[in-house]
Chain A
Amino acid sequence: MSLVDPGTDPGPGTPADVRDVRAAAKSIERGLRGNSAYWAFKKLVQTEALASPAHRDIASVAKGIFERPGGVGQRIQNHVRLACRTVSSSRAQQHPVQWWAPRSSDRTVFRTDHLVLDPRVRKVLDAAQKGLMAAAKKQVARVAVEMDVPLARRRTRQEEAIFLQYAFAARPDDPPAPVSSNSTLPAHGGPRDPDRVCLYDDQDLLDALLGTALPAGLGTGGNTLPPDFSAFWSSIPIDLAAPPVLLEELAYKYAELHPRYEQIGMDEVGFSSESATQAAHFLHTRITAGEAILSRRCFSRASMYARQGVPTCLRARLWDLLLQSELIDDPATYTQKYCKPLKAALAQHELLVDHLVQADARQCRNDDAFFVFEDVLKEMMLFWIRDEWIDARLCPAAPAAQATHSPAAPQPSPPKSASIAGATLPPVGGAVAEGTGIADNNSNGNNNGVGNGKAGSTTTTLPTTAPATPRVIVKKYPPNGVLPFWGVSCYAMPVCFLHADAESAYMTFRELYVCCFTHLHTLQPSRTTPTLPHLLAHFESLIKQYSAPLFHHVARVAHAPPARLAARWIVFAFVGVLDVAQVLLLWDRVLGYGPDGDGLALFAVAAAALFAFREDVLWAARSPRDVEAAFADLGAIEIVPLLQNFIFPLVCDDNDA
């Protein structure tokens, strides 16, 4: 009995594709066999089928159990859909049809035609990303020298014990807060702190993007504008959004945000006595509906539901349904089992990047809402930097058929202790392992366009101590394959509001990271998912459509390129810009519209909406400082009405009249 019935797979179902889909389903089923939850489910179905009174037709009984709402079938379906989502970029080349895309309507699929790029433009962006990563790698070596910390070090037994005892609590011997009292989260911008130790930050990222230039002779053709004009009319030197998304298109794309539908984020709060009752009623029905979806585990309904916002009390569970790509029978034990080896690995080895992410997590002290979660954040970020799962997801080793196998593996493969055991890198002195320790990624033989260099990981060659077998193990450094940029912990901060403990918060965070946040600080274009350059181009085009004179005024008169401001908001997914409750409401919509498609583009829309909202103040701005001041305090913004006002301006004006 095969648990994956090709028929249950979502697919376009056109006859030509059927064979393709069947083959894919078969390969997925084969992949699932390595998953313990798969067997647990199989056994469950088996015992239930045997226990049922109708002995005659065991097959149909089993099918009934399998396809029960919220049952095993649904779980597997969700898993397949989500697991494929993250490898979609690499698969796109092999499978032109997105067979994993939701069937509900075409509108839900992110229009990818504007992601198609001139290969030359793509090359330029690839180069920018590579350059950035190379600089970051150099920075790793520099930091190692400056901080006098080796890249990796085996802790002694005693240190290990101390580490485990203190867990992640702040210790008296921790370095003092690296931040001064008037600094804020990185999304606020401002001058860089010279004492800060980081590999690269959002400004470097933006500079790398804005510094790109097309090779000579490319200026006139295809995707690009005449150089003079483009420099005048856009801060992004390359024209990316070939057919721009029209302002009017947004109303069609994000139809569920329409004011005619009740929204969590504005309608659950009443303003007068009658509306308070109404609001309470709305919230109640909304929660009931949400519970029903949760019990049926229906992915597509859940994403439709999230578009109108998720009530706070259901958010943790609903997000898990929308995000959790692993096939898990018992989340609590899975989480524990998963995090235990990560913790052990943490205790055993001290990495240079540990210091970096911890310092990064300490930034939450600068925020009045997140400082509470400092210890939780530290733990989450340390898990993150050690988690090879991230690496497996971001750059799947084997692109085509096996791609679904690796994510399905239930057990994390913690850094093989045998392989690094005792393999301390040479203590950092003058000669850091420049050539040998940090090898260039190009030699990795990873021909997958997206995976290569995107994560910016360095491969470390660690010789094992065992003299008998002098083999060389190539491992990534850091283990998760991502060189952390300054502010990466911002993504984890709002997640702390959803879960009580760091472990379960981490499980949500890692899924969010691979399907959504990683794109926000990536320059390299992807074929299916908008990345930072696309989002910024999207933002610029929206502003220009909204009011070209405004764009001109801000960019040319006030000398503050709008993309620079918006980049900070988008890169940090609005964390530190909006109040945490509003950030969560925005993320609800992002998840609802697909965090790797339309949803991600919503960040650009939100940034444009903020600009439009402050239009009057911006018109009066005469200097970059005025522009900064216009957005100095966005803490009182309510994002849902703001988006509505931007996406559906006509409706709002009609009501006004």
Chain B
Amino acid sequence: MLSRTDRDRGTSTPRQSSTSLAAPFPSTPPLPMSGPSAAVSIATISGSTSSNASTPPTTTAVSTNTTIRFRTGIRNTVYDAMRDRGWKETDGDMDWDFFWADVHWIHETFDHVYLQEHQRINHFRNHYELTRKDLLVKNVKRMIKTIEKEYGKTESQKFDFLSPSYVLPGEHALFTEEFKRNPGSVWIMKPVGKAQGKGIFLINKISQINGWRKDVKGNVRGDRDGEDGPEAYIVQRYIENPLLIGGKKFDIRIYVLVTSYYPLTVYIHRNGFCRFSNTQFSMQAKDISNLYIHATNVAIQKHSPNYLSGRGCKWLLRNLKLYLTTRHGTDAVNELFTEMEASVVRSLMSVQKVMINDKHCFELYGYDILIDQNLKPWLLEVNASPSLTAETQFDYDLKHSMVQDCFDVVDLERRHTGKPIRARVGGFDLVYNDGPIRHERTSNYASYLGCYQPIPRAPRQKKRFGPNGKSTVPSTPNRKSTSSPVISISVQNAAVGVSVVPDAASPR
């Protein structure tokens, strides 16, 4: 398993290696890959100075019989990563070894094609069981019921990682009842099938969604999505006490790689990051419609008057870990990160039964997690096509190395076929393989999530950053939204709609 870390060691100076041995007892094992190295023992420089930074990590190591031919419709870090591995692009319809497909292709074409033995694709057939907000709620609710029946209440409570949610219009009556039980509570409305914060708004009166429902009915006819019927919404109890840092709200994006649902095999990447809102958090009624306060989606924050263009507001998990440890202690933070990891696995267990397993498929999910002031993680949603478009060089390096790690796990080059499954590949740690990976971590179990994982400079510098690599479309509507203190939903929709197309859905 020649991987990135080994490669880095190759570049290290002789003094470096002596440094690792300078470590006092416990003697540092020479293989940094072999365990929970939150830090590589040697001070590595993943610098642009090392001459081999431009060589892709794996292609040089083993010569494959044929180059991998890939097909994709998108031009972002994924495309660059595939090129950097020495793969060749092909535009044949089915003439490929690997297809980084968008979800539309999966919905429309996947059922009608036959995949050859070696062909791989980056989505599961019915991934929406996990990634559509209403189905996720449905699946988790069902799981809770099953577990409660079989193992009792204490076990089922562990699956309580979604805040109370109802699907509208179906569960409107149930919701109204719940709302009346909690007067003054705030709820968040999300369209079930949309990403990047589109169509999201907050309510604190039931009348607000009565009005909205009429709106939607009026809009249904003009709905050009062509999807099934009127757009369903999910209404979710708003987490009113999110953990704030520097007075600002944030959520966490974690990359989760599922290579198989049967047996369930889950990898989680260490370099998750926090995404911040750019405005001080407030639960005041006057601010309730201000999404710049309440939503942390980059797609929304981009239009915030306080947005730091070219910065992207991404804070690595290891910074969060450092910050929280100073305030809450090591144990509490370990518990939090382990709990986040567990929530991810439990959400996947909830959909395992309904998911159609397919050995051609793997999937890279973007999990959105919110932490409240009691350090409890809440699962917000799961994205099937997390944005892999970079906004800054840092962002680019981060995503590029993550995608490379992902391809190392998926192993199209077949370097690891027939070998035992690897516990760590780059930044990806195996956390579940037909059962929790507890490898010798049973006592003082601590998640590797947010452990130190170097971000090597990507082999190429991005010249321009923006959605899909094109120059950012200057969106006029957002100027309107800055001028009015209350941002109406329609403006918000327009603002987001103009400039951002979900990665996977972008035209070729």
Nearest-neighbour CB distance to chain A for B26, whole angstroms, equals: 5
B214 close to A (CB within 8 Å): no
Our pick among A272, A283, A581, A653 for the contact of B322 (Cβ within 8 Å) is A581
Nearest-neighbour CB distance to chain B for A652, whole angstroms, equals: 4
Do the beta carbons of A580 and B319 come within 8 Å of each other?
A: yes
Tell me which of B12-20, B382-390, B470-478 binds A: B12-20
The size of the chain B interface, using a CB distance under 8 A, is 74
Tell me which of A24-32, A79-87, A627-635 binds B: A627-635
Do the beta carbons of B326 and A648 come within 8 Å of each other?
A: no
Our pick among B38, B42, B392, B393 for the contact of A641 (Cβ within 8 Å) is B42
> Once the chains are docked, how many angstroms separate the CA of A376 from the CA of B40?
32
A246 close to B (CB within 8 Å): no
Do the beta carbons of A633 and B29 come within 8 Å of each other?
A: no
Do the beta carbons of A372 and B306 come within 8 Å of each other?
A: no
Chain B 370-414 against A: per-residue CB contact (8 Å), 1 yes, 0 no?
A: 000000000000000000000011100000000000000000000
A228 close to B (CB within 8 Å): no
Do the beta carbons of A613 and B16 come within 8 Å of each other?
A: yes
Do the beta carbons of A497 and B326 come within 8 Å of each other?
A: yes
Tell me which of B62-70, B81-89, B241-249 binds A: B241-249
Beyond A181-B392, A365-B308, whether A271 also contacts B41 by CB under 8 A is yes
Do the beta carbons of A271 and B35 come within 8 Å of each other?
A: yes
B507 close to A (CB within 8 Å): no
Beyond A172-B306, A616-B13, A652-B21, whether A277 also contacts B443 by CB under 8 A is yes
Chain A residues whose C-beta falls within 8 Å of the C-beta of B394 in the assembled complex: 368
Beyond A266-B41, A267-B23, whether A312 also contacts B325 by CB under 8 A is yes
Do the beta carbons of B329 and A280 come within 8 Å of each other?
A: no
Do the beta carbons of B19 and A641 come within 8 Å of each other?
A: yes
B278 close to A (CB within 8 Å): yes
Number of inter-chain CB pairs below 8 Å: 203
> Once the chains are docked, how many angstroms separate the CA of A266 from the CA of B23?
8
The chain B residue with its CB closest to the CB of A310 is B326
B22 close to A (CB within 8 Å): yes
B37 close to A (CB within 8 Å): yes
Tell me which of A48-56, A231-239, A254-262 binds B: A254-262
> Once the chains are docked, how many angstroms separate the CA of A639 from the CA of B39?
12
> Once the chains are docked, how many angstroms separate the CA of A313 from the CA of B328?
7
Chain B 299-316 against A: per-residue CB contact (8 Å), 1 yes, 0 no?
A: 000000110111101111
Chain A residues whose C-beta falls within 8 Å of the C-beta of B34 in the assembled complex: 271-272
Do the beta carbons of B280 and A266 come within 8 Å of each other?
A: no
Chain A 154-190 against B: per-residue CB contact (8 Å), 1 yes, 0 no?
A: 0000000000000001101010010011100000000
Interface positions, chain A 269-298, Cβ under 8 Å from B, are: 269-280, 283, 287
Chain B residues whose C-beta falls within 8 Å of the C-beta of A279 in the assembled complex: 26
The chain A residue with its CB closest to the CB of B273 is A368
Chain B residues whose C-beta falls within 8 Å of the C-beta of A637 in the assembled complex: 43, 45
Nearest-neighbour CB distance to chain B for A543, whole angstroms, equals: 15
Do the beta carbons of B49 and A312 come within 8 Å of each other?
A: no
Do the beta carbons of B49 and A629 come within 8 Å of each other?
A: yes
Do the beta carbons of A641 and B454 come within 8 Å of each other?
A: no
Our pick among B38, B46, B247 for the contact of A636 (Cβ within 8 Å) is B46
A333 close to B (CB within 8 Å): no
Do the beta carbons of B246 and A271 come within 8 Å of each other?
A: no
Do the beta carbons of B322 and A312 come within 8 Å of each other?
A: yes
Do the beta carbons of B18 and A633 come within 8 Å of each other?
A: no
Do the beta carbons of B21 and A365 come within 8 Å of each other?
A: no
The chain B residue with its CB closest to the CB of A609 is B43
Chain B residues whose C-beta falls within 8 Å of the C-beta of A653 in the assembled complex: 18
Do the beta carbons of A612 and B280 come within 8 Å of each other?
A: no
Do the beta carbons of B23 and A636 come within 8 Å of each other?
A: no
Nearest-neighbour CB distance to chain A for B346, whole angstroms, equals: 24
Chain B 440-456 against A: per-residue CB contact (8 Å), 1 yes, 0 no?
A: 11011010000000100
Do the beta carbons of B45 and A278 come within 8 Å of each other?
A: no
Do the beta carbons of A369 and B319 come within 8 Å of each other?
A: yes
Do the beta carbons of A641 and B322 come within 8 Å of each other?
A: no
Our pick among A275, A371, A581 for the contact of B28 (Cβ within 8 Å) is A275
Chain A 314-345 against B: per-residue CB contact (8 Å), 1 yes, 0 no?
A: 01100000000000000000000000000000
The size of the chain A interface, using a CB distance under 8 A, is 78
Do the beta carbons of B278 and A633 come within 8 Å of each other?
A: no
Do the beta carbons of A313 and B329 come within 8 Å of each other?
A: yes
Interface positions, chain A 367-405, Cβ under 8 Å from B, are: 368-369, 371-376
Our pick among A258, A276, A581, A645 for the contact of B35 (Cβ within 8 Å) is A276
Do the beta carbons of A371 and B42 come within 8 Å of each other?
A: no
Do the beta carbons of B457 and A633 come within 8 Å of each other?
A: yes
Do the beta carbons of B246 and A644 come within 8 Å of each other?
A: no
A655 close to B (CB within 8 Å): yes
Nearest-neighbour CB distance to chain B for A175, whole angstroms, equals: 12
Chain A residues whose C-beta falls within 8 Å of the C-beta of B278 in the assembled complex: 170
Interface positions, chain A 389-440, Cβ under 8 Å from B, are: none
A59 close to B (CB within 8 Å): no
Do the beta carbons of B326 and A269 come within 8 Å of each other?
A: no
Do the beta carbons of B444 and A636 come within 8 Å of each other?
A: no
B367 close to A (CB within 8 Å): no
> Once the chains are docked, how many angstroms separate the CA of A641 from the CA of B443?
28
Do the beta carbons of A633 and B46 come within 8 Å of each other?
A: yes
A195 close to B (CB within 8 Å): no
Beyond A371-B313, A372-B246, whether A641 also contacts B23 by CB under 8 A is yes
> Once the chains are docked, how many angstroms separate the CA of A615 from the CA of B311?
33
> Once the chains are docked, how many angstroms separate the CA of A616 from the CA of B40?
21
> Once the chains are docked, how many angstroms separate the CA of A203 from the CA of B246?
31
> Once the chains are docked, how many angstroms separate the CA of A92 from the CA of B129?
74
Do the beta carbons of B38 and A269 come within 8 Å of each other?
A: yes
Nearest-neighbour CB distance to chain A for B213, whole angstroms, equals: 33
> Once the chains are docked, how many angstroms separate the CA of A366 from the CA of B313?
10
Beyond A271-B37, A641-B42, whether A374 also contacts B330 by CB under 8 A is no
Do the beta carbons of B22 and A312 come within 8 Å of each other?
A: no
> Once the chains are docked, how many angstroms separate the CA of A655 from the CA of B24?
10
Chain B residues whose C-beta falls within 8 Å of the C-beta of A181 in the assembled complex: 309-311, 392
The chain B residue with its CB closest to the CB of A263 is B24
> Once the chains are docked, how many angstroms separate the CA of A259 from the CA of B24?
5
Do the beta carbons of A656 and B21 come within 8 Å of each other?
A: yes
Chain A residues whose C-beta falls within 8 Å of the C-beta of B40 in the assembled complex: 636, 638
Chain B 37-75 against A: per-residue CB contact (8 Å), 1 yes, 0 no?
A: 111111111111100000000000000000000000000
A18 close to B (CB within 8 Å): no
Do the beta carbons of A374 and B246 come within 8 Å of each other?
A: yes
Do the beta carbons of A636 and B36 come within 8 Å of each other?
A: no
Interface positions, chain B 78-111, Cβ under 8 Å from A, are: none
Our pick among B247, B316, B482 for the contact of A369 (Cβ within 8 Å) is B316
Do the beta carbons of A371 and B308 come within 8 Å of each other?
A: yes
> Once the chains are docked, how many angstroms separate the CA of A402 from the CA of B394?
53
A498 close to B (CB within 8 Å): yes
> Once the chains are docked, how many angstroms separate the CA of A376 from the CA of B43?
31
Nearest-neighbour CB distance to chain A for B12, whole angstroms, equals: 10
Beyond A369-B319, A372-B276, A636-B44, whether A267 also contacts B24 by CB under 8 A is yes
Do the beta carbons of B48 and A633 come within 8 Å of each other?
A: yes
Interface positions, chain B 271-328, Cβ under 8 Å from A, are: 274, 276, 278-280, 305-306, 308-311, 313-316, 318-319, 322-323, 325-328
Interface positions, chain B 133-186, Cβ under 8 Å from A, are: none
Do the beta carbons of A655 and B326 come within 8 Å of each other?
A: no
Do the beta carbons of A613 and B329 come within 8 Å of each other?
A: no
Do the beta carbons of A311 and B440 come within 8 Å of each other?
A: no
Do the beta carbons of A277 and B444 come within 8 Å of each other?
A: yes
The interface centre, meaning the residue of B16, B36, B440 with most chain A CB atoms within 10 A of its CB, is B36
B459 close to A (CB within 8 Å): no
Do the beta carbons of A287 and B13 come within 8 Å of each other?
A: no
Our pick among B305, B308, B327 for the contact of A500 (Cβ within 8 Å) is B327
Do the beta carbons of B49 and A617 come within 8 Å of each other?
A: yes
List 6 contacting pairs A-B, 8 Å CB cutoff, sorted by A: A169-B280, A170-B280, A276-B35, A371-B308, A376-B246, A612-B15
* Closest 7 pairs between A and B when the two form their complex, measured CB to CB: A181-B310, A273-B440, A272-B35, A652-B22, A312-B325, A633-B47, A280-B444
- 12 new A-B contacts at CB < 8 Å, known A177-B308, A372-B246: A181-B309, A259-B24, A273-B440, A276-B36, A279-B26, A312-B325, A497-B322, A615-B15, A636-B43, A642-B43, A655-B21, A656-B17
